[in-house]
Amino acid sequence: MSDLTTQTPAPTAAELVDWLRDRVAAQTGRPAEEIATDVPLNDYGLDSVYVFGLCAEIEDRYGIEVEPTVMWDNTSLAPLAEALLPLIAAR
């Protein structure tokens, strides 16, 4: 679990997707390579509740605030990373 004080530098889109994929893999207990970037995370069992957990991890790592609704609107990894990058850049 990341520490609150971690100062993670702004990632590239690919780095962010990779990191998100690892988090989803850890939460859902699947191998990371099974998680495609264009398939809704819900299909991997990441329910609306677990989105809160992922939000918290994103917030801890990148020092931004993420409303769970961002993940409801961007249901798979690629669009989610796209939505998060500007938030991280603006922190």
Partner 1 sequence: MTPASPTDTAGTSPTGTERAGTEAAGNAPVGSVPVGAFPADGHRPDVGAARVGAVGGGRTGATAGDGPTAVLPSGHAAVDRLEELFGDAADPANPVGRAAVLRADDRADMLAAGEDLLTGFGLGAHFVPEDLGGRLARLDDLIRVMRAVYRRDPCLGLGHGAGSFMAAVNVWTAGSAAQRQRLARRLLTGGRAACAYHELDHGNDFTRAGLTALPGPDGRLRLDGRKEVVANLRRAETMVLFARTDPAHGSRSHSQLLLDTADLPATAVRHLDRFPTVGMRGVQLGGIEFTDCPVPDDSVVGRPGQGVETALRSFQLTRIALPGMTIGLLDTALRTAVRGARGRTLYGGPAADLPLSRSILTETFADLLLADTFTTVAARAAHTAPAQAGVYASAVKAFVPTVLIGAVQRLSELLGSQFYLRAGEQPLFQKLLRDVQPSAFGHASRISCQSALLPQLPLTARRGWRSATADPLPADTFRPGRPLPPLSFADLTVSAAGRDPLARSLVLGTEAAAPDDPLAESGRAWCARLAALAADASALPPTLIGPDAPPYAFGLTARWTGVLAASACLNTWWSRNGEAVDPAVTLALLHRLGTHLDHHRDPLPPHLAEPLHTELLRRFDAGLTFDLDRRPTGA
- For partner 1, the binding residues (CB under 8 A) are 1, 4, 26-27, 29, 40, 42-43, 47-57, 59-60, 65, 67-69, 72-73, 75
Task: Provide the minimum distance between the beta carbon of 52 and partner 1 in the complex, in angstroms, as a whole number.
Answer: 3
Beta carbon nearer to partner 1, 1 or 14? 1
Query: Distance between CA 24 and CA 28 in Å, rounded?
Result: 6
Query: Distance between CA 63 and CA 91 in Å, rounded?
Result: 7
Task: Provide the minimum distance between the beta carbon of 8 and partner 1 in the complex, in angstroms, as a whole number.
Answer: 15
